[in-house]
Each structure stands twice: as C-alpha cells, then as structure tokens.
C-alpha cells in the first residue's frame, strides 16, 4: 500500500474478536514486506488509559454508544489530507450508530472508508434499513462488509465453478463461551449459515439472486447442547447445532454446523460422495494463515474484490427467513 501509516479506528477494540484475530493479524502484517503499520486508535466502553498488545502501538479512546457522537476524543486523530479508516467489530444493534458517526465525519470534509463486521443487521428488515441508512448518508460506496470466511485460503481458491452439490461443515468442540449474551439472540442458523456459509456459497455462483428465487428444504434439524441452558442461566430455545439441506433447480446444498461437538471439523466439499470420487474436491477451512491478515491488508489497500456485498447480505437474510418460517 502507498501509505503504511494510515489511521485505523477500531470500534469494539476490547472485544473477543479483535483480541483473538484482528490484533494478531496486524502483529504479523507489521513484519511483512513491505510492513503494514497503521496508526491504530482503539475505541471501547472501558475506562482505560491505553490498550496493550505485543508488537503493536495502540492508542485508546473511550467511546460512548448512548449518543451519535460516539467518540469525542477522536477528532484530534482525523486528517483531511488522507483517508480515515473505520472498522466496526460491534454487535449489529450498534451498526447504525457507527454508520451515522462515520457519515457525520465524512460530511465534515474527511475522506472515510468503513468496514462492518458480520452480520449486516439481525433480520431482512434490519439489513434493508441499514442499506437505506448507508444510501441516505452518502457512504454506501465507501462501506465494505467483513466476512473473514471469504478470506480463508481454501475459500479464496474456489472461484466460480460448475458443481452439482456443495457441502459445508463447521463443527466445534468448544461451547459458546464468552459470546453467550450475543449468541442466545442469534443461534447457529443466523450466526454461521446466514453469513459464512451463504457468502461462501455465493462465491461459487454466477448469479446468487436467481439461484435462490425458489428452493426446496430437504432437511432442517436443530439441536441444543445439554449444558447450554446451565451456562446461560435460564431457559432458551436457541439452537447450537443445525443440519440443513436445500435443493434449487440446479444445485443441492448441505450445511452442518454446531458447538460442543465430539471433534473439530471444518471443510468444504464440492460434489461429495462416499468415495470422494472423480470430480469431488475437499477443502480444509482451517488451512492457511489468519484470514484477518488479508482482510485488513485489502481494506487498507483499497482492494474491494473479496468482501461481501450489501446485496448478498440482504439475499442471505431472505433465504434464512424463508427457512426459519418452515
């Protein structure tokens, strides 16, 4: 990239995702050739003087999500002579506030780019509303949607291709863990299939919109692991496992995902069979480097090609709501 010292504002910087995936990605990128070392301004609710991560220089500002200003201390970092980058790893309920804040910065004459972590909204109506907000605020073209599965090494190899059946499996040995408060309002169908699985599926298709105009649900099975309600501390119908099979006019799809399973499995199969015969291919979703290395490198370099689109996010919600209505 031309300017490795650009400014990157990270909303939700004290959260689990940023700590486990995003900061380690920048620690690796700063050792690359050429090194990528943006000036990181971390934004969070906590009362902190600074935010430490090995190998990174991070400035911290307390953010307030109770009003549209969000960050009073951010103005001193903004620069009208360069692009100001914003990445939001906040829950979807706070996405609109972030969008309006970044739009207000843009209206003050600053150049902005915004990257929103998945999911885009919490429903079809919510996603359509966020698109409307982006359009009316004038920053739709400056906004990208982040789905790190699209930057996994195996997914990037897929490309548009002919196939009869697609199978995606992601099973985890761990439970929900620190994400309980968020996860219970979402569940496996919306957490994994709405974003990761469907965005990966769209990557293979020439026209996802026409592909899913009509589809048949062959199987839809949901489960919850036994300890979930104990961990949550109350009753809940939220599913932690989903097995879903769909059939369109041209293709079949099998999606399997769940928490606290017997073993870790994460793969994609193209035209799977019991023998994995001629034409079948299997891709390990755990292979390759931390995908956030490429997410952040492409975002700060202006490479939009790998990111999910707002239109596909809305299509994914349309598919999910048809499924859940059955």
Please tell me the predicted confidence (pLDDT) of residue 280.
64
Residue from 101, 90, 93 nearest 137 by CA: 101
The domain spanning residue 44 has which CATH number? 3.40.50.720
From the number of C-beta atoms within 10 Å of its C-beta (0-12, 13-18, 19+), residue 19 rates as middle
Instruction: Look at residue 68 and tell me whether its pLDDT is greater than 90.
Output: no
* Cβ neighbours around 200 below 10 Å, total: 23
Instruction: Look at residue 147 and tell me whether its pLDDT is greater than 70.
Output: yes
221 and 126 housed in the same domain: no
Please tell me the predicted confidence (pLDDT) of residue 4.
47
Please tell me the predicted confidence (pLDDT) of residue 182.
87
Strands (E), 153-250: 165-171, 216-223, 241-247
Enclosing domain of residue 189 = 153-287
140 and 199 housed in the same domain: no
19 and 132 housed in the same domain: yes
Torsion of CA 211, 217, 219, 224, to 10 degrees: 90
pTM across the whole model? 0.93
Please tell me the predicted confidence (pLDDT) of residue 277.
56
Please tell me the predicted confidence (pLDDT) of residue 46.
84
Which residues, including other chains, have CB under 8 Å from residue 142's CB and lie 6 or more apart?
Answer: 106, 112, 113, 114
| 194-230: pLDDT as tens digits | 999 999 999 999 999 999 999 999 999 999 999 999 9
Please tell me the predicted confidence (pLDDT) of residue 1.
44
Range scoring the smallest mean pLDDT among 29-43, 107-121, 156-170, 264-278: 264-278
Where does the pLDDT of residue 181 fall: very low under 50, low under 70, confident under 90, or very high at 90 and above? confident
Range scoring the smallest mean pLDDT among 3-17, 208-222, 223-237, 290-304: 3-17
Answer yes or no: is 322 within a domain: no
132 and 227 housed in the same domain: no
- Tally of CA atoms within 13 A in the half-sphere of 164 that contains its CB: 6
State the total domains in the chain: 2
Please tell me the predicted confidence (pLDDT) of residue 2.
47
The domain spanning residue 168 has which CATH number? 3.30.360.10
Answer yes or no: is 133 within a domain: yes
12 and 133 housed in the same domain: yes
What is the arithmetic mean of pLDDT over 98-110? 95
């Amino acid at each position: 990239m031309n300017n490795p010292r650009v400014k990157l504002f990270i909303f939700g910087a004290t959260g689990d995702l940023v700590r486990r995936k995003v900061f380690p990605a920048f620690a690796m990128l700063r050792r690359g050739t050429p090194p990528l070392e943006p000036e990181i301004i971390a934004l969070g609710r906590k009362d902190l003087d600074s935010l430490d991560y090995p190998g990174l220089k991070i400035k911290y500002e307390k953010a307030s999500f109770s009003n549209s200003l969000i960050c009073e201390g951010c103005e001193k970092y903004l620069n009208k002579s360069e692009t100001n980058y914003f990445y939001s790893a906040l829950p979807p309920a706070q996405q609109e506030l972030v969008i309006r804040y970044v739009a207000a910065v843009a209206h003050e004459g600053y150049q902005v780019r915004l990257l929103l972590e998945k999911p885009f909204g919490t429903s079809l109506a919510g996603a359509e509303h966020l698109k409307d907000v982006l359009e009316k605020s004038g920053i739709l073209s400056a906004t990208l949607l982040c789905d790190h599965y699209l930057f996994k090494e195996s997914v990037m190899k897929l490309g548009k291709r002919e196939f009869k059946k697609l199978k995606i499996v992601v099973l985890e040995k761990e439970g929900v863990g620190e994400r309980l408060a968020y996860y219970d309002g979402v569940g496996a169908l919306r957490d994994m299939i709405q974003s990761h699985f469907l965005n990966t599926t769209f990557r293979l298709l020439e026209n996802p919109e026409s592909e899913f105009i009509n589809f048949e649900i062959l199987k839809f099975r949901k489960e919850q692991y036994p300890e979930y309600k104990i961990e949550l501390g109350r009753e809940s119908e939220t599913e932690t496992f989903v097995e879903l099979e769909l059939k369109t006019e041209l293709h079949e799809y099998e999606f399997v995902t769940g928490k606290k399973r017997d073993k870790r499995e994460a793969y994609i199969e193209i035209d799977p069979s019991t023998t994995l015969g001629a034409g079948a291919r299997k891709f390990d979703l755990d292979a390759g480097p931390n995908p956030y290395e490429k997410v952040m490198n492409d975002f700060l370099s202006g490479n939009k090609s790998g990111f999910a689109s707002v239109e596909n996010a809305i299509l994914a919600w349309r598919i999910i709501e048809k499924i859940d209505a059955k």
